[in-house]
Amino acid sequence: KKVERGCYTWSSPSNIALVKYWGKREHQIPENPSISFTLDACRTTTTLSFSKKDSHKYFSFEVLLDGKPKNDFEPKIETFFKRIEAYLPFLKDYHFKIETSNTFPHSSGIASSASGMSALALCLISLEKQLVMDVMSSAVETTQIESYFNQKASFLARLGSGSACRSIEGDLVVWGNHKDIDGSSDLFGIKYPFEVHNNFKNYHDTILLVDKGEKQVSSTVGHNLMHNHPFAEERFKQANQNLSKLTHVFKVGNLKAFTEIVESEALTLHAMMMTSLPYFILMKPNTLEIINKIWNFRNETGLNICFTLDAGANVHVLYPESEAKKALEFIQNELVAYCQNGHYICDRIGFGAKQL
């Protein structure tokens, strides 16, 4: 079908891993399966405008962040386009204007790669849909078409940034092949297919911005540190085991066991960085202050507040809906003081990307 010009807008969320992805092979294949909560408030909105190209450049695109040209995003997009060209043959026929904005501040230490790459992948999939829809048989069910395109969006997002493939759907997403999770794949994220206890519905994630600076270690460098890492094989095994344990925890609603797995995963991620060559410490003194405060509070109150970390100093504080009032009071009274300029973001489990 001939399509001269048009535009699509998608809003896509960030996600926070419970079992971490750290270590990959060629073509963005993860060394171990991971699972994440899809977030709700932390999102990227991307508008992709396209028109038939007249330039000689192989890929023709411009990128704007908050309405201003963002040349330093171009190499990432160029690499992304090269990786996905084989799956979207129309890519070189158009000029693309990519206008993007985040709900969280650009320099907040919150990575925008998951929400950004998934939003862009979804815009491109919308265009593909427009191009191929008439040739798809009307015998194919709408739900089947939707799930095909969602899967392909996740597949493409993975090629932009691994964890981005977990940002298409919600509320829990598994990426990476796991022996007990039917349908799980290294190539795309899937909605967690098993029963989840009510304890985990509407879970909260308050993100404490301890250090808003640029990442000390890019995730590409970080993943590469797992090649020849002395503990890599054990770590990959452990991630598989933790995912098995979590499926049971989700079924029975065991919040104590959840805390143990999630905190151990966060600390293991950081332990991998401390024990690689070169080695890194990505936590800051305030990260440790917060962790100790959370542990003390949990001991004193018996509440189920726990933490997880990304590859940085910020702390994600997780707690169930039933304890939200007390947890937030504690966070505001005791933890916010350790945030840079007192900044934090109240987020919770969300349900995936939306077309606007």
Residues near ligand PMV (CB under 6 A) are: 17, 20-22, 34, 111, 113, 161-163, 219, 269, 310-311
Write down the least CB distance from residue 161 to ligand PMV, Å. 4
Closest CA to 64 of 88, 44, 83: 44
Closest CA to 121 of 95, 151, 145, 86: 151
Distances (CA, A) of 136 to 124, 208, 341: 18, 47, 53
Compare residues 17 and 339 and give the one whose CB is closer to ligand PMV: 17
- What's the CA gap between 241 and 259, in Å, rounded? 15
Phi, psi of 43 (to 5 degrees): -140, 160
Compare residues 163 and 206 and give the one whose CB is closer to ligand PMV: 163
Compare residues 98 and 311 and give the one whose CB is closer to ligand PMV: 311
Compare residues 225 and 303 and give the one whose CB is closer to ligand PMV: 225
Residues comprising the chain, all counted: 356
Write down the least CB distance from residue 272 to ligand PMV, Å. 10
Question: Could you give the 3-state DSSP secondary structure of residue 348?
Answer: strand
Compare residues 50 and 352 and give the one whose CB is closer to ligand PMV: 352
Write down the least CB distance from residue 20 to ligand PMV, Å. 4
Phi, psi of 139 (to 5 degrees): -75, -15
Question: Could you give the 3-state DSSP secondary structure of residue 76?
Answer: helix
Write down the least CB distance from residue 193 to ligand PMV, Å. 19
Closest CA to 36 of 190, 188, 170, 172: 172
Write down the least CB distance from residue 162 to ligand PMV, Å. 4
